[in-house]
Structure 1
Amino acid sequence: MHTMKRWNIDILLSEESEGEYTRTWAEVGLASDDGSSLRGHGMARKHPADEDVPEIGDELAVSRALADLSRQLRQVAAEDISEHTGTPWRP
């Protein structure tokens, strides 16, 4: 038996500039077929002395949001393992 599933991640980026400072926020969302969802968040700051390359802020903010989402998903898996086995999962 072969089963295939597709999980889609939604990424939302927002950038705010104030004077010489720029901040980029990212929110990533993962929704499952059972209606549960997780959201990860990340932020990047551009130092005033840095060259203005918006893609770098996007990349950093998204990578941090994905890391946050990954941590949450790992926690959900650990809780599911503990619930089904009766023993805590150790990463």
Structure 2
Amino acid sequence: MDSKVKVRKFIEDNLIKYDEEINFSDEDNIFSMGFVNSLFAMKLLNYMESEFCITVESDEMELSNFTSVNSIVRYLKNKEKCK
């Protein structure tokens, strides 16, 4: 399973669901759409670190890195380049 599929599945499985049919694109800002909160953000960081064997440094904790499936995948690809 590629990183985009893994990230999207994690987000879908952990969203705050008020409606059974939640649709969002890979570019949608899941924070501004009200699907996630600060607890989810911490779960997301923990998931990324364990699933992709990375460390999210404190200076990288900018919301823009984690607002959408695509922004998370871009962040992960940049981390891979640094290894």
TM-score greater than 0.5 by the shorter chain: no
TM superposition score normalised by structure 1? 0.25
Higher-strand-fraction structure:
1
Higher relative contact order (CA 8 A, sep 6+): 2
Higher normalized helix content (fraction of residues): 2
Q: What TM-score, normalized by structure 2, do the two folds share?
A: 0.27
